[in-house]
Amino acid sequence: MNVFSKFSKAMPLLAPVLVVWLLAAGCGGSEDQARAGDKELTVGYVGYADSVAIAKLTQAVMEQELGYDVELRRFDDPEAAILAAADGKVDTFQNVWMPEYAGYVGEAKGERLLNPWLIGTTRSGLAAPSYMDVGSVDGMKRYPHAPIISVEPGVGPGSKVAEAVADQMTDRKIFYRDTSTMLSELQSRYSDGENFFFTAWSPHWMNQEYRFEYLIDPGDELGGATQPSRIQPVVNGKLGEEDPFALAFVDALQLSDNQISTLELSIWDAKNPREGVESWVEDRDWLAQSWIGATKRQIGED
């Protein structure tokens, strides 16, 4: 009897063993991906740089490291995104600036705020290029003809300062721009060495790209518009019950001002946002693993 004949007779006995072995081999992915399986998460975001960055970062890490399918859904403004989280149209919206949007998070439908993902608080105010050496809002008097380049009042980060500028600085030429146009104009004016002022805020990649100073406001000429905020995620009330791991991961995300700003800049410089995020994460894998570790500890897996 040749060896093939012996093997064919042995097949009925070996088949169960082979099936078990093949199934085990097919499950050879990471423990995290095996647990996640076909889990899905829907993340809302708005067109602000920090919102785009944190949403796309969440998507990249959860898909690459945890096997999730993460859908991003864009909204026109934070109010709509917060209400979408409350209604269950998205699982989370991660860019609630508090206390500005406190009135929209009523928890009437069980939605809840998580811990701030930004370490520390935001910053906003009037700014000037470092080469002007202004120092304070009062120091602007030394440049009476320097215009203010501002985002439009009531539109996104920096809007509180824009509103204060519109109310308090009527004797100065002010040019209102949408955020993208304002940033392009900053580049042009910096290149020409012009004297000008502008509305600035952090986190934002402009803090990495340009050398400027936030003007201190001891006389409160901006009427408290420079008060800092916290940036917190809001989640749908059912997420903790339906997917405690996803809830814990969103809650575990922590980024410094410098980290989120460099992430925004990486997205801005890349051919497409996903490439920018993946490049940034690749250089900081330890950070992504720290979030995953914190998530496991939070739900008792580690």
- Of 285, 279, 257, the C-alpha closest to 267 is 279
> Could you tell me the residue ranges of all domains in the chain?
37-119+229-298, 123-214
Predicted confidence (pLDDT) per residue in 282-294, tens digit: 999 999 999 999 9
pLDDT for position 14: 41
Q: Which CATH number fits domain 37-119+229-298: 3.40.50.1970, 3.50.50.60, 3.40.190.10, 1.10.150.120?
A: 3.40.190.10
By DSSP bridging, strand 212-214 and strand 123-129 are antiparallel
- Identify which of 19-28, 35-44, 107-116, 126-135 has the greatest average pLDDT: 126-135
Distance between CA atoms of residues 129 and 152, nearest Å = 20
The CA distance from 54 to 258, in Å, is: 13
What does the pLDDT read at residue 156? Answer: 79
Query: 279-293 burial by CB neighbour count: b if 16+ within 10 A, else e?
Result: ebbeeeeebbeebbe
Question: Using one digit for the tens of pLDDT, what is the confidence trace for 190-248?
Answer: 999 999 999 999 999 999 999 999 999 988 888 878 889 999 999 999 999 999 999 99
User: What is the topology classification, in CATH, of domain 123-214?
Assistant: D-Maltodextrin-Binding Protein; domain 2 (3.40.190)
245: Cβ contacts below 8 Å, ≥ 6 apart: 35, 36, 39, 66, 295, 299
How confident is the model over 75-122, as pLDDT tens digits?
A: 999 999 999 999 999 999 999 999 988 888 876 677 899 999 999 999
Give residue 15's pLDDT.
44
Are 46 and 90 in contact by the 8 Å Cβ rule? The answer is no
Cβ-Cβ contacts under 8 Å for 202 (sequence gap 6 or more):
122, 123, 124, 257, 261
Among 136, 116, 130, residue whose Cα is nearest residue 216: 136
Digit-coded pLDDT (tens) for 245-283: 999 999 999 999 999 999 999 999 998 899 999 999 999
pTM metric for this prediction: 0.85
Please check the confidence at residue 23 and state whether its pLDDT lies above 50: no
Q: At what angle do helices 257-269 and 49-66 cross, to 10 degrees?
A: 90
Separation of alpha carbons 50 and 55, rounded Å: 9
